[in-house]
């Protein structure tokens, strides 16, 4: 690359000493020439900071006074980092030396590209896509997020079927590349999300501002997933159901949001009943609590999030929206792979 804008890889840590020991060496082997590596710490109690200071003095450490979650933690840390590009990288990610260059080259090619993510494969099964991002994120007409390479719990093997870079709807927070100027313009993460789907909200706001979100097929990372909250944790269930409703409320016009939320409440009730039938009472209660929390939020004044505001649309970019119902396609029509979906609805 002839142009080498400054890039900051920022890892937000909360009691992730195990992952720092395992995966930080791969990040330090990155070949990008104009690079700063930063660890933001959310008041860890597992000696993460002491370990980093002793073993990796070249890594800048920014400490928060308490655990502000993924959203608040990153907002506070990134306010203290100066770079042209931020890479928000999970601590449970293994990278290869040249993983940064292709993504930055892609983003430098178009001033409207605000954010991007590499291909994300599973660390445990390296020839399969990973749940959190896979080959780029999409969303259906009812607000359900899914990915090329992952629809609900169905993960595809990477057989080279998604080797074309291009626009998507959202980029995974496991490895989110974003231009600092646009991060500032959008106002960063909405802290009411705490964790989970906050990157989808950010990307949706970027799309409503007319920007592009990209998938870069020429870069691959390997993600463990569930490093902080595993899939069986009811709190994760709560966050996913609550935050999905917040997404819709915030980013769709009022009339459209009202009807979509009504549909989602009915569909979520089916999910609650399914959890009960499977004996997952804590998850069923988590869905109920998510609905209660969302309804209560309707009576609270929503804080303004970034210069884009809530529901403000400048030049809406609809690339990455699936015009059909991914629930109907997957569970009824048995379309378990992205390539099974009707191209006319993408």
pLDDT (tens digit, 0 to 9) for every residue of the chain, 346 residues total? 457 999 999 999 999 999 999 999 999 999 999 999 999 999 999 999 999 999 999 999 999 999 999 999 999 999 999 999 999 999 999 999 999 999 999 999 999 999 999 999 999 999 999 999 999 999 999 999 999 999 999 999 999 999 999 999 999 999 999 999 999 999 999 999 998 999 999 999 999 999 999 999 999 999 998 765 666 789 999 999 999 999 999 999 999 999 999 999 999 999 999 999 999 999 999 999 999 999 999 987 654 444 444 445 667 899 999 999 999 999 999 999 999 999 999 9
In a domain, 329, yes or no: no
Q: How far, in Å, CA of 137 to CA of 116, rounded?
A: 10
Position 7 scores a pLDDT of: 98
Position 229 scores a pLDDT of: 61
In a domain, 87, yes or no: yes
Instruction: Please state, in angstroms and as integers, the Cα–Cα distance from residue 324 to each residue in 144, 248, 253, 321, following that order.
Output: 11, 16, 19, 9
Tell me, yes or no, whether 16 and 146 share the same domain. yes
Tell me, yes or no, whether 57 and 185 share the same domain. yes
Instruction: Please state, in angstroms and as integers, the Cα–Cα distance from residue 45 to each residue in 40, 51, 60, 99, 224, following that order.
Output: 14, 12, 19, 31, 22
Tell how far CA 322 is from the center of its chain.
Answer: 18
Cβ neighbour number for residue 5 with a 10 Å cutoff: 15
Tell me, yes or no, whether 248 and 191 share the same domain. no
* Length of the chain measured in residues: 346
171: domain range? 7-223
In a domain, 1, yes or no: no
Tell me, yes or no, whether 208 and 140 share the same domain. yes
Q: Which residues of 212-230 are buried (b: 16+ CB within 10 A; e: fewer)?
A: bbbbbbebbbbbbbebbbe
Query: What count of Cα atoms within 13 Å lies in the side-chain half-sphere of residue 160?
Result: 0
In a domain, 316, yes or no: no
Alpha helices for 117-188 (secondary structure H): 180-186
Position 292 scores a pLDDT of: 97
Tokens 């990040």 belong to: 27
In a domain, 2, yes or no: no
The answer to whether residues 175 and 88 touch, using CB atoms and an 8 Å cutoff, is yes
Rg of the chain's alpha carbons, rounded to an integer?
A: 19
Position 230 scores a pLDDT of: 63
Tell me, yes or no, whether 239 and 184 share the same domain. no
Tell me, yes or no, whether 195 and 55 share the same domain. yes
Phi/psi at 256 (5° precision) = -65, -45
CATH number, position 140: 3.90.550.10
Q: How far, in Å, CA of 42 to CA of 54, rounded?
A: 19
Tell me, yes or no, whether 170 and 125 share the same domain. yes
Tell me, yes or no, whether 182 and 277 share the same domain. no
Tell me, yes or no, whether 155 and 40 share the same domain. yes
Instruction: Please state, in angstroms and as integers, the Cα–Cα distance from residue 140 to each residue in 2, 98, 230, 260, 327, following that order.
Output: 39, 33, 25, 11, 9
């Amino acid at each position: 690359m002839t142009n080498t804008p400054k890039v900051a890889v920022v890892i937000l840590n909360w009691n992730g000493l195990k992952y720092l020991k395992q995966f930080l060496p791969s990040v330090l082997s990155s070949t990008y020439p104009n690079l700063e590596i930063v660890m933001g710490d959310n008041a860890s109690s597992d000696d993460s900071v002491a370990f980093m200071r002793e073993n990796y003095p070249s890594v800048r450490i920014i400490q928060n006074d308490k655990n502000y979650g993924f959203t608040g933690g990153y907002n506070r840390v990134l306010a203290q980092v100066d770079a042209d590009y931020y890479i928000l990288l999970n601590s449970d990610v293994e990278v290869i030396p040249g993983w940064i260059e292709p993504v930055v080259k892609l983003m430098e090619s178009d001033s409207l590209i605000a954010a991007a993510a590499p291909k994300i494969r599973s660390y445990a099964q390296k020839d399969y896509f990973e749940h959190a991002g896979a080959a780029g994120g999409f969303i259906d007409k009812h607000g359900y997020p899914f990915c090329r390479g992952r629809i609900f719990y169905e993960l595809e093997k990477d057989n080279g079927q998604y080797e074309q870079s291009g626009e998507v709807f959202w980029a995974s927070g496991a490895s989110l590349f974003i231009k600092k100027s646009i991060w500032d313009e959008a106002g960063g993460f909405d802290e009411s999300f705490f964790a989970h789907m906050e990157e989808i909200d950010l990307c949706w706001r970027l799309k409503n501002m007319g920007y592009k979100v990209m998938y870069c097929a020429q870069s691959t990372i390997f993600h463990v997933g569930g490093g902080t909250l595993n899939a069986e944790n009811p709190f994760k269930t709560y966050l996913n159901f609550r935050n999905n409703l917040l997404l819709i409320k915030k980013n769709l016009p009022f009339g459209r949001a009202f009807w979509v939320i009504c549909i989602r409440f009915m569909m979520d009730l089916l999910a609650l009943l399914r959890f009960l039938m499977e004996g997952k009472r804590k998850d069923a209660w988590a869905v109920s609590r998510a609905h209660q929390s969302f309804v209560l939020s309707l009576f609270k004044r929503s804080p303004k999030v970034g210069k884009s505001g809530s529901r403000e649309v400048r030049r809406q970019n609809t690339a990455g929206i699936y015009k059909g119902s991914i629930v109907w396609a997957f569970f009824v029509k048995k379309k378990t792979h992205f390539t099974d979906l009707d191209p006319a609805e993408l």
